[in-house]
Structure 1
Amino acid sequence: MVAGKPPTQRQLRVGEEIRHALARLLAEENFRDPVLRDVSITVSEVVPGRDLKTAKAFVYPLGGRSADEVTAALNRAAPFLRGRLGREVRLKFTPQLVFHADRSYDTASAVDALLTEDRVARDLAAEPDGTGDGA
């Protein structure tokens, strides 16, 4: 996407349609690659390019597999998934897929862990300005 330009309504709609179709495919497909067997994969976002011919899919593996290992395996399987996706969605061109690990879950966990630390909890519980009247 061009920096600074928000996605169009069509890009958002196509991205959601691809996300739903990919989630179904990843849940139902029996892959030959052992990395993709017995792993649940969450497709958190799909960002199509401006011309809708490419799409970045952000995924997060569940079940203890490395995100980098799973995204590498998905990128190897991308041509196969693109072919299957072409049968699922009605688009003039099926976009070329590039998979990326979604780090937002890890970031959210780190922030949550930080907020539950004792020293941070004490700071959050302290009264601002020491007035104590809540106004």
Structure 2
Amino acid sequence: MGTHGMILFGHGARDARWQEPFQRLAAKLGAARGNAGPVSLAFLELMTPSLPDAIDAQIAGGCTAITVIPVFFGQGGHVRRDLPALIDACQARHPGVTLRCAGAVGEDDAVLDAVVQFCLRNDAD
């Protein structure tokens, strides 16, 4: 049985500091998953690795299943159009690997609840 990897997929930015919270998220997720499989980052543009490169790397490392988690706040054009096209192209290149894509993290009620709690902690009375 192969390994199940996870890839956190973000937009990317020109400023390298933009990815710092994503790196922290990947480290926390990796620690929470333990030995369940690798966690890595990938970006749509302006940063590396690209999603195809991250998928290739996880497959080269022995993953036979990969879940892509879009760390976008909502389902904009990148998540609705660009990401499915990338997943389809990667799936065509790796037909023996199971690629799954979750919804955008910001669409999950638990994430929204966490943002509400953050806002309340920072509410100046």
TM category, shorter: 0.3 to 0.5
TM-score, scaled relative to structure 2: 0.39
For the pair shown, the structure with the greater C-alpha radius of gyration is: 1
TM-score, scaled relative to structure 1: 0.37
